[in-house]
Amino acid sequence: MAGLAAAFGSGAMSNSVAEIERTDALFVIGSNTTENHPVFALRMKKAVRNGAKLIVADPRKIPLVKFAHLWLRHKPGTDIALINSIMHVILEEDLEDKDFITERTTDFETFKKNLKSYTPEYGEKITGVPREDIIEAARIYGTAKNAGIYYTMGITQHSMGTNNVFSLANLAMLTGNLGKESAGVNPLRGQNNVQGCCDMGCSPNVFPGYQSVTDPEIRMKFEDVWGKSLPDKIGLTATEMIHSMKDGSLKGMYVMGENPVMSDPNTQHTLEAFQNLDFLVVQDIFLSETAALADVVLPAASFAEKDGTFTNSERRVQLVRKAVSSPGQAKNDLWIINNLMNRMGFNHVFESIRALGFKVPDETRSNNNFITPEQAFMEAGLLWQGIRGMTYQRLKGDGLQWPCPTQNHPGTPYLFKDTFPIGKAAFRSIVPTESNELPDNDYPFILTTGRILFQYHTGTMSRKSKALEAVAPESFVELNEEDAVEMEISDAEKVTVTSRRGSITLKAKVGERVGKGVLFIPFHYTEASANKLTNNALDPISKIAEAKVCAVKLEKVTR
Ligand SMILES: Nc1nc2c(c(=O)[nH]1)N[C@H]1C(S)=C(S)[C@@H](COP(=O)(O)OP(=O)(O)OC[C@H]3O[C@@H](n4cnc5c(=O)[nH]c(N)nc54)[C@H](O)[C@@H]3O)O[C@H]1N2
Ligand SMILES: Nc1nc2c(c(=O)[nH]1)N[C@H]1C(S)=C(S)[C@@H](COP(=O)(O)OP(=O)(O)OC[C@H]3O[C@@H](n4cnc5c(=O)[nH]c(N)nc54)[C@H](O)[C@@H]3O)O[C@H]1N2
Ligand SMILES: [Mo]
């Protein structure tokens, strides 16, 4: 693995939240920060008040645009062309960081050659962004002392999502905006503790701490502590599992804290896959659409009902403490896992925690070999030096940012200061590719999907809140005024949106948020579920689904 994006294997922010305020230029691309990361957005607005210049690149006129010096409304799925043409201008105008390029990168000459043809004129043709704005973006980003990139699902949820991220890494490397304060390439993480899940090895290719399952030495280390032989092959990603369920090669499934029946693209395909299973267990705090299909439902306790750690976007590990008791028969996830482990006769972990010199409280010993959250955390530190220096004692207060390898290490606010984990970072010559499904005569609109401030994902949680439902009770499709006039659709009128995979009926929201030819639908509402429409094409590297681009048609509802 060369390239810098590989160094971002964790997907963690390279820099810290607080640094945003002191940034000179912010490049927010594919992130509706105000609605989906309001706390980050506050820092961004503060940076702007402090004099920072803000560039927003988003096909939609998102609320952050109000604070931007420059808004690039590119067509969905054209980020590579946009970034390549910005980098073309940076080179043309001599704004690159030559020292950084020489000292910390490789493959620059090939990369430079690849950029030759991506003129601002080319950029305009592919993206729809005026060439002057591409030049202006290059000047703002290229001349700033510290420039930070902030991206989320508008960048990643594409069949070329990984190449989009590589392109952003190229841009930061070209201008030396890595390994220093208030800069970097910063994916704002989505769910609370999605970072912690990734850190703990919830990816098919790594053990906790991003340690490869295919490296025999690493595997032996884990086998020693866990007392079991471990598979040496990379497993399936969640999106690939759905395909394997469909073709019958995957027969049993245990879903914990996910509602794929609504959150995965192409619902019809997902349902067929689930119906093909021999056995399904769902562990959730509510009876979700997916739990409703399960053979066994394990009722789980929510975050407020248990102890443990959550790791946030800036790699900060924080303690959470039980605040309220669980209702009914709900048990916390670790309790359920402990029980399963015991019944499967698996208690070696506990033995090794003690054998390796950790003090394990006696009561735990008599308590059916239950591992406490703290012990699980200590064991993780044993196997991953990134958090080895952290203890529950040290985490009290504000927590600590990994890497934190020793007991007196203060934690790490930003990564790659003097070097990359891979040594020098390689530039990648990225060539734009088209989205898997583009509009045609039958399906003339591009549909992009995402979120709104007042709802959360599949709504299992947020739609139970009366207050949130009062503000955002139903789905809608954002539609450009010009298209609305042409099609004689008025605001709030019911319309049908249809793709090759399904059809939903919902309210039209006419305005200028989306450009002509583009529609946006949030995926929160089960009664008009956007994922009935979306395309399950995958990025070949990350296997993320193309939730941000598919072709649809729009029709008035006729009676
Ligand atoms: N209120 C609320 N907050 C949330 C969540 C929630 O459900 N509700 N979910 C959380 C989670 S898990 C996540 S991952 C984050 C996601 O946070 P975001 O990624 O900000 O959310 P999205 O609405 O999916 O899409 C982001 C933006 O991408 C833009 N976009 C669409 N297509 C393209 C494209 O081709 N290129 C570019 N550059 N932009 C494009 C959309 O217009 C949108 O503004 O939010 C987190 N925060
Ligand atoms: N069209 C479209 N589809 C998308 C996206 C998009 O932008 N567009 N975004 C994608 C993204 S980025 C994401 S992150 C996914 C989100 O997709 P999901 O993760 O499937 O969506 P959630 O609704 O957050 O489901 C989480 C489930 O966990 C349960 N839960 C909450 N707390 C706990 C707990 O402590 N223990 C247990 N066991 N369960 C718990 C909740 O009740 C809920 O049912 O959606 C993806 N799907
Ligand atoms: Mo997410």
Per-residue pLDDT of the chain (559 residues; tens, 9 = 90+): 233 333 343 456 777 788 899 999 999 999 999 999 999 999 999 999 999 999 999 999 999 999 999 999 999 999 999 999 999 999 999 999 999 999 999 999 999 999 999 999 999 999 999 999 999 999 999 999 999 999 999 999 999 999 999 999 999 999 999 988 888 999 988 888 999 999 999 999 999 999 999 999 999 999 988 888 999 999 999 989 999 999 999 999 999 999 999 999 999 999 999 999 999 999 999 999 999 999 999 999 999 999 999 998 888 999 999 999 999 999 999 999 988 887 887 766 666 666 656 665 554 444 556 778 888 898 899 899 999 999 999 999 999 999 999 999 999 877 766 667 778 999 999 999 999 999 999 999 999 999 999 999 999 999 999 999 999 999 999 999 999 999 999 999 999 999 999 999 999 999 999 999 999 999 999 999 999 999 999 999 989 999 999 999 999 997 6
* Position in ligand 2 atom list of the atom nearest CA 288: 44
Measured between alpha carbons, how far is 546 from 239 in angstroms, rounded to an integer? 11
Q: Is the CB of 197 within 6 Å of ligand 2?
A: no
Q: Which residue has its alpha carbon closest to ligand 2 atom 10?
A: 263
Asked whether 187 lines ligand 1 (CB < 6 A), one says no
Q: Indicate if ligand 2 lies below 6 Å from the C-beta of 270.
A: no
Ligand 2 contacts CB of residue 159 (under 6 A): no
Q: How far is the CA of 186 from the centre of ligand 1 (A)?
A: 14
> What is the number of the ligand 2 atom nearest to the C-alpha of 264?
47
526 CA to centre of ligand 2 in angstroms: 13
Judge contact between 546 and 93, C-beta under 8 A. no
The best mutation among 27, 28, 33, 36 to test binding of ligand 1, ranked by most ligand atoms within 8 Å of the C-beta, falls on: 36
| Contact yes or no for 38/453 (Cβ under 8 A) | yes
Ligand 1 pocket check for 164: Cβ under 6 Å: no
Which domains are seen in the chain, by residue range? 2-187 (3.40.228.10), 194-235+300-401 (3.40.50.740), 445-556 (2.40.40.20)
List Cβ neighbours of 203 (8 Å cut-off, separation of 6 or more): 237
Answer yes or no: is the C-beta of 79 below 6 A from any ligand 1 atom.
Answer: yes
pLDDT of residue 208: 95
Ligand number with the minimum distance to the CA of 520: 1
Characterize the bridge pairing of strands 550-556 and 494-499: antiparallel
Tell me if 193 CB under 6 Å of ligand 1. no
Q: Give the ligand with the smallest distance to the CA of 37.
A: 1
Q: Is the CB of 450 under 6 A from ligand 2?
A: yes
Give dist(CA 159, CA 136) in Å, integer: 28
- At residue 322, the pLDDT reads 95
Ligand 1 and 29: CB distance under 6 A: yes
Q: Whose CA is nearest to atom 33 of ligand 1?
A: 154
What sign for the dihedral angle of Cα 105, 108, 110, 112? positive
Q: Which atom of ligand 2 is nearest to the CA of 286?
A: 42
| CB 77 near ligand 1, within 6 Å | yes
Q: Provide the pLDDT for residue 352.
A: 63
**Is residue 517 a contact partner of residue 439, using CB atoms and an 8 Å limit?**
yes
Q: Ligand 1 pocket test: which of 32, 158, 451, 512 has the largest number of ligand atoms within 8 Å of its C-beta?
A: 451
Q: Which atom of ligand 2 is nearest to the CA of 451?
A: 7
First to last CA, the chain: 57
Residue 259 has which token pair?
A: 């509602």
Token pair, residue 99, equals 């020292």
Residue 284 Cα to ligand 3 midpoint, Å, equals 17
- In terms of C-beta density within 10 A (0-12 exposed, 13-18 middle, 19 or more buried), how is residue 412 classed? middle
Amino acid, single-letter form, for residue 289: E
Give CA–CA dist 530/544, Å, rounded: 17
pLDDT at 2: 32
Which of 75, 68, 41 shows the shortest CA–CA distance to 141?
68
